[in-house]
Amino acid sequence: SRLAEGTPRRSIQLSNIVEQRVFQDDEIISTPKRARSKKTTTAEEDKEYTPKKTPTRSRRLSTASAAAPATPTPLTPSQKLKKIRAGEISPTMEQRKTDTANPDKGRKSQLQLAREQLHVSVVPQSLPCREKEFDNIYNFLEGKIQDQCGGCMYVSGVPGTGKTATVSGVIRTLQGMTRQRKLPEFEFLEINGMRLTEPRQAYVQIYKQLTGKTVSWEQAHTLLEKRFTTPAPRRITTVLLVDELDILCNRRQDVVYNLLDWPTKSAARLVVITIANTMDLPERLLMGKVTSRLGLTRLTFQPYTHKQLQEIVSARLGLAGSEAFKGEAVQLVARKVAAVSGDARRALDICRRATEIAKDCVTMLHVQQALAEMIASAKVQAIKNCSRLEQIFLQAVAAEVTRTGVEETTFMGVYQQLETIAAIMGVSTLPPPGRALRLCSKLGAERLLISEPSRHDLYQKILLNVSTDDIHYALRVEQPMTTT
């Protein structure tokens, strides 16, 4: 009976010789893995047994059994992948060898502290200037959790207005409440459209956060469907945060539909919060039935005004701020950023750059330099630093635009202008058309011009990607042409 038990499946495929072996009563045939404990017996057998025909295979068998060490073998990559899919291996990064990451805080200057505080990744406990939105989302979620029913909410706003940070802040507060037993328990799941390779992977990610297992999306879909549609007596509320909703919208919209349809099931007890950038996304992109399920509970995050941005930066700086940052410097950043986008990330990044420029205290001048680096365009500088013939080429394009009155020019017309300008300026070596094409493609690579591929030769169309004023300004200010 033991014989039959131990017979490995693979022995069917073994060659005749192995099958011909006559087994003793107490002998154990086993797979190499099982042989670990009975190492000695197998080794003895191998000594007695001399293979006739296929030595390689039997040797492999014997070495495999002999080599099997007592310590656990390192996993083969495919075994590892299985464990990863089962969620048994936790993903890790390589660790630092010498831990220089956190030298004690005393040695850091005020400026360094300020720089650390200003990093976008350092999210404060409570977001300044978003109290109203916080309350709004908090009330919605708390109500849904208390009532133990499902629902949807749609949050919109341009990037960098604190949507995700506020929602995560609300969730954190609610989780604190449950820990104090002031609120029934709930589960929190989070997916991000941009972190998925395709919309259907949303099922996989949700299921993975529930169980830790990675399965195919079809399987995940079925399992989630089962979970949310069949009533279970002790089910707790699930809060699902869907970031970047617009990416999940494909043509069929089955994923969005499912995500928004589950909350309507009484068994699900699912609350879905969706985040996207455009305010009118439901009406513009989604089908009628999806929009209807999304409901009208909506919240829009307005871009920060300069006062709010100033408050955010000052809050980040805290007490250290007064020494490291001049008040008017913060105000300048806030006003500049609020005028462009109202993006908090931008304001923080500019402030951080200013701390890098400054030596001990950030003043207006440092901020101005940082602003120039991060907002200003470099086109004028690029034109100034072109070679002389490239500059003449740009002038020729501008001249051709003025002559024809049309934005789009052809290389032939530009080349004629080039000949004229070169003759007027007394350039001795006018490049032949072939080399002028090279100038054109070089300027096109920089995107000072927009040009067709050079395959079109004399007939390629050329558009000026800078304004003619920029060209004149760049070339007149230093007057590089007067040297002729």
Q: Which of 202, 174, 308 shows the shortest CA–CA distance to 259?
A: 202
Nearer to other proteins, 265 or 384 (CB): 384
Nearer to other proteins, 31 or 214 (CB): 214
Q: What is the closest distance, in whole angstroms, from the C-beta atom of residue 127 to other proteins in the complex?
A: 15
Nearer to other proteins, 87 or 327 (CB): 87
Q: What is the closest distance, in whole angstroms, from the C-beta atom of residue 270 to other proteins in the complex?
A: 22
User: What is the rounded CA–CA span in Å between residue 228 and residue 98?
Assistant: 48
Q: Which of 13, 17, 48, 47 shows the shortest CA–CA distance to 31?
A: 13
What single letter denotes the amino acid at residue 335? R
Crossing angle of helices 39-48 and 55-67, rounded to 10°:
150
Contact 347, 329 (CB under 8 A): no
Q: What is the closest distance, in whole angstroms, from the C-beta atom of residue 343 to other proteins in the complex?
A: 5
Nearer to other proteins, 42 or 166 (CB): 166
Nearer to other proteins, 282 or 444 (CB): 444
Q: What is the closest distance, in whole angstroms, from the C-beta atom of residue 322 to other proteins in the complex?
A: 23
Q: What is the closest distance, in whole angstroms, from the C-beta atom of residue 379 to other proteins in the complex?
A: 6
Crossing angle of helices 411-425 and 433-446, rounded to 10°:
110
Nearer to other proteins, 85 or 235 (CB): 85
Q: What is the closest distance, in whole angstroms, from the C-beta atom of residue 94 to other proteins in the complex?
A: 5
Q: What is the closest distance, in whole angstroms, from the C-beta atom of residue 432 to other proteins in the complex?
A: 4
Nearer to other proteins, 145 or 245 (CB): 245
User: What is the rounded CA–CA span in Å between residue 120 and residue 352?
Assistant: 9
Q: What is the closest distance, in whole angstroms, from the C-beta atom of residue 116 to other proteins in the complex?
A: 8
Of how many residues is the chain composed?
484
Nearer to other proteins, 244 or 311 (CB): 244
At 260, phi and psi to the nearest 5? -90, -15
User: What is the rounded CA–CA span in Å between residue 355 and residue 370?
Assistant: 9
Q: What is the closest distance, in whole angstroms, from the C-beta atom of residue 306 to other proteins in the complex?
A: 18
Contact 267, 218 (CB under 8 A): no
Element spanning 461, H or E = strand 461-464
Nearer to other proteins, 24 or 92 (CB): 92
CB-based contacts of 124-132 (< 8 A; 24+ apart in sequence): 124/315, 124/316, 125/169, 126/169, 127/162, 127/165, 127/166, 127/169, 128/308, 128/311, 128/312, 128/315, 129/304, 129/308, 129/311, 129/312, 130/162, 130/165, 130/166, 130/301
Contact 222, 216 (CB under 8 A): no
